[in-house]
């Protein structure tokens, strides 16, 4: 049970497994992105990025909250009337934080995975287009997950092995 709750299994999922469809549900995607970032930090010997961890947790709980609030809003007109007074400010700040968090976490995951690629292959020098392509794969996960997960499987399988010279 402990292994399931640590979510290390998300790094082992193959794109042919039915579990890959869980990542299309956004809270699981944020868990996956967190685990990819942490795996990269571990393999690269980096110090934990606290902002990445906090923003990923914020994104996870925000998506859960949004899912719950959709049901709550549809059934409670009194709550809606009370929130409408400060709706613009609240929603602006909330959406701004979500966008900032999503972009930062995607950027950080991009940097970590590109550095893992550089560690595995000393002759690999990512161009700007490689960096932009990888960033948009993380940002637009519904399409990018199919290209990123095989790389994540390789990173996870190489864990503990010395880097290729």
Per-residue pLDDT tens for 36-55?
Answer: 898 888 888 889 999 999 99
How confident is the model over 94-99, as a mean pLDDT?
Answer: 88
* Cα separation, 73 vs 85, whole angstroms: 15
Does residue 158 belong to any structural domain of this protein?
A: no
Q: What pTM did the predictor assign?
A: 0.79
Position 165 confidence tier, pLDDT thresholds 50, 70, 90? very low
Does residue 89 belong to any structural domain of this protein?
A: yes
Does residue 115 belong to any structural domain of this protein?
A: yes
Domain that holds residue 134: 26-146
Position 160 confidence tier, pLDDT thresholds 50, 70, 90? low
Provide the number of structural domains found in the chain. 1
Q: How far is CA 163 from CA 43, 115, 118, 123, 152, in A?
A: 9, 12, 10, 13, 16
């Amino acid at each position: 049970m402990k292994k399931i709750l640590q979510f290390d299994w998300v790094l082992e999922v193959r794109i042919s497994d039915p579990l890959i469809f869980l990542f299309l549900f956004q809270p699981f995607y944020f868990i996956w992105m967190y685990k990819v970032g942490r795996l990269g930090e571990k393999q690269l010997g980096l110090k934990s990025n606290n902002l990445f961890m906090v923003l990923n947790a914020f994104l996870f709980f925000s998506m859960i909250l949004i899912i719950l609030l959709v049901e709550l809003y549809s059934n409670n007109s009194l709550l809606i009337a009370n929130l409408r007074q400060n709706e613009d400010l609240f929603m602006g700040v909330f959406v701004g934080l979500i966008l900032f968090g999503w972009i930062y976490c995607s950027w950080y995951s991009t940097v970590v995975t590109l550095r893992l690629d550089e560690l595995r292959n000393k002759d690999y020098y990512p161009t700007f287009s490689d960096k932009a392509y990888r960033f948009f794969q993380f940002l637009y996960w519904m399409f990018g997950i199919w290209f990123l997960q095989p790389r994540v499987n390789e990173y996870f399988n190489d864990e503990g092995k010395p880097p290729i010279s």
